[in-house]
Structures are given as structure tokens and as C-alpha cells.
């Protein structure tokens, strides 16, 4: 009987892991309305669900200790921000739970110019993700605030698909 119980627990764990791999750590999916947005950017600008309507928005979840994030950020700067910043488009770097001084140094060291905010307690990040999810993520919202594209880690093919997707939304 004990062996069956252990097998049963193993199957539950494997099912949960398989589900996590399918959703890549997200608790939201494409087509969902964005969770509540109530952010203050480092420049003092307020961003919320109401004032982003009509714009395509990308949240880039990042942190200074994340090597994959650091690899992706120059691509976001050049291929996304510089390309679309004059359109109805916003790219916001969302630093996960770091101090202001660390974030300023991080922005300076990566050379990015897109707006940033700090998710001090991680609650904004967790409104999109499962507990203990990895940080390298981009979430694209359409003009109606619906999630329209999700990335995980930095994969060149997926990154190119995200750019094409943003381009289509802005047409």
C-alpha cells in the first residue's frame, strides 16, 4: 500500500511539473485581460490599466543578477524600444525586488533608455506568474489591455516572433 501511495505522489508531482513546463511559469495566458496595473515609473510617471488603453505595452521582467536578462536587454533597446517608441507603444522594464541604487546602476551598465519601475515586493510579477517563477519574461499587452504574447528566457526565434507580433498590433 505504501508503494502505491509513493507512486501516486510521484504522479501528482510529475503532472504539476509538466503543467508548469506547458505554461512556462505563467498563471495568465494569451487572451486574458491584464491583471491590475498600478505602477510608478522611476521618472515619476504613473502607469495603470486606464492610461495604457490604445497603446501596445511590453513589460520586461528583469533583475541585475539575471544573466539572461542582461543578454536580452540590448536587443530590447535596439530592436524593440528604438524601433517602436515613437508609435503608440510603451516598453517598461520591471525590476524585481531590488533597491533604487542597484536599479540605477543596472540601467546605466546595460545602456538601456526605456522606462523602468521597481516591483519592490514582487506582487506585480506574481500577478502574472506562478510562485517561484523565473524572472526573464516579456509580456505583450494589446491596445485593449489583453495579454497577446508571452515570452520566457531569451530565445532568438521567440524574440523575433514577439517583434513581428508587436509590428502587427501597431498596424
- Distance (Å, rounded) from C-alpha 6 to C-alpha 164? 47
What is the pLDDT at residue 3? 56
Can you point out the beta strands (E) in the chain? 38-40, 46-48, 56-62, 89-96, 116-119, 137-141, 147-152
What is the pLDDT at residue 1? 62
Q: Is 166 helix (H, G, I), strand (E, B) or coil?
A: helix
- Distance (Å, rounded) from C-alpha 110 to C-alpha 72? 10
Residues 88, 14 contacting (CB under 8 angstroms):
no
Angle at the Cα of 18 from the Cα atoms of 37 and 161, rounded to 5 degrees: 55
What is the pLDDT at residue 9? 38
What is the pLDDT at residue 22? 66
| The model's pTM | 0.86
What is the pLDDT at residue 23? 85
The per-residue pLDDT string of the chain (171 residues; one tens digit each, 9 = 90 and over) reads 655 434 443 433 433 333 344 689 999 999 999 999 999 999 999 999 999 999 999 999 999 999 999 999 999 999 999 999 999 999 999 999 999 999 999 999 999 999 999 999 999 999 999 988 999 999 999 999 999 999 999 999 999 999 999 999 999
Amino acid at each position: 500500500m505504501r508503494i502505491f501511495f509513493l507512486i501516486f505522489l510521484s504522479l501528482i508531482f510529475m503532472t504539476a511539473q509538466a503543467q508548469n513546463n506547458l505554461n512556462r511559469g505563467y498563471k495568465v495566458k494569451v487572451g486574458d485581460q491584464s491583471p491590475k496595473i498600478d505602477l510608478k515609473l522611476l521618472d515619476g510617471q504613473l502607469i495603470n490599466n486606464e492610461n495604457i488603453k490604445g497603446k501596445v505595452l511590453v513589460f520586461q521582467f528583469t533583475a541585475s543578477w539575471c544573466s539572461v536578462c542582461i543578454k536580452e536587454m540590448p536587443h530590447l533597446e535596439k530592436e524593440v524600444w528604438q524601433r517602436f517608441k515613437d508609435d503608440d507603444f510603451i516598453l517598461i522594464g520591471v525590476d524585481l525586488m531590488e533597491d533604487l541604487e542597484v536599479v540605477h546602476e543596472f540601467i546605466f551598465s546595460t545602456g538601456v533608455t526605456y522606462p523602468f519601475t521597481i516591483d519592490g515586493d514582487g506582487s506585480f510579477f506574481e500577478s502574472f506568474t506562478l510562485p517561484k517563477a523565473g524572472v526573464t519574461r516579456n509580456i505583450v499587452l494589446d491596445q485593449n489591455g489583453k495579454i497577446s504574447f508571452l515570452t520566457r528566457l531569451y530565445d532568438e526565434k521567440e524574440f523575433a516572433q514577439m517583434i513581428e507580433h508587436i509590428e502587427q498590433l501597431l498596424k
